[in-house]
Amino acid sequence: MITFSTWEWIRASGLSAYFLLFLSVCFGLIQNMNIINRNIRNVLFLMHQTAGWFAFLFAFFHGLLLYFDDYQPFSIREIFIPFLANYQPFFTGLGIIAFYSMFLIFVTTDLMKKVGRNIWKTVHLLILPSFILVSIHGLFIGTDTEETWGKNIYASAIFCFSILTVFRFLSKITVKNNRNRG
Ligand code: HEM
């Protein structure tokens, strides 16, 4: 029977969280574009939310497993407080910040009526810089970055993310300009 070490589980859950976060961000950006048909939007919205929840769960599992690692164990403080870790404090700190921004999104979404739409939206958009932070996190400390396929994953994800972000903001500017003219 094949068994995996804790470090392998940490890597697998980190990559899974990254991929799911990538999907969630992409579905979110696409469903927000005005050129998309309403029915497709609804499906994309559901996929956006589901991928986001699973990304959060995998990221939690990924961070927590570091506590049980024999080779480079993290204390609970090192896992939850950014930049405190002995091992790669800066790059692990970026992962922790991204994790908290996901957490904030869930909290403000649940409390949307209380916090108001503007705060909810600002917090929601925080995931865009957080995605960059988590890409740097994985790229610089991930064991799999040594492999060509590992580097390709980050390069392709950042490429798609950048294109969709530009399109998303351009589509909003075009709609605003058309409204002002009309
Ligand atoms: C949004 C949250 C997070 C995501 C999406 C994420 C994603 C990733 C990815 C993709 C890798 C590279 C894995 C590999 O190359 O095999 C990685 C590595 C790592 N992450 Fe995270 N991470 C997150 C949060 C955290 C947190 C909260 C910690 C806790 C300190 C952490 C600690 C680490 C460590 C120590 C590594 C190095 C593992 C290795 O050597 O491959 N990450 N992470």
Domain residue limits, the chain: 6-174
Answer whether residue 176 shows pLDDT above 80: no
Residue of minimum CA distance from atom 6 in ligand 1: 14
Residue of minimum CA distance from atom 12 in ligand 1: 142
Is ligand 1 within 6 A of the CB of residue 142? yes
Instruction: Determine the pLDDT at residue 34.
Output: 77
Is ligand 1 within 6 A of the CB of residue 98? yes
Residue 81: helix, strand or coil by DSSP? coil
Structure tokens at 145: 């970055």
Is ligand 1 within 6 A of the CB of residue 10? yes
CA triplet 132, 135, 138: central angle to 5 degrees?
155
Which atom of ligand 1 is least distant from the CA of 98?
A: 1
pLDDT digits (tens, 9 = 90+) for 1-48: 778 899 999 999 999 999 999 999 999 999 988 788 889 999 999 999
Structure tokens at 181: 């003219």
pLDDT digits (tens, 9 = 90+) for 93-105: 999 999 999 999 9
| Model confidence band, residue 112 (pLDDT cutoffs 50, 70, 90) | confident
Answer whether residue 181 shows pLDDT above 70: no
DSSP 8-state assignment for residue 143: G
Instruction: Determine the pLDDT at residue 170.
Output: 84
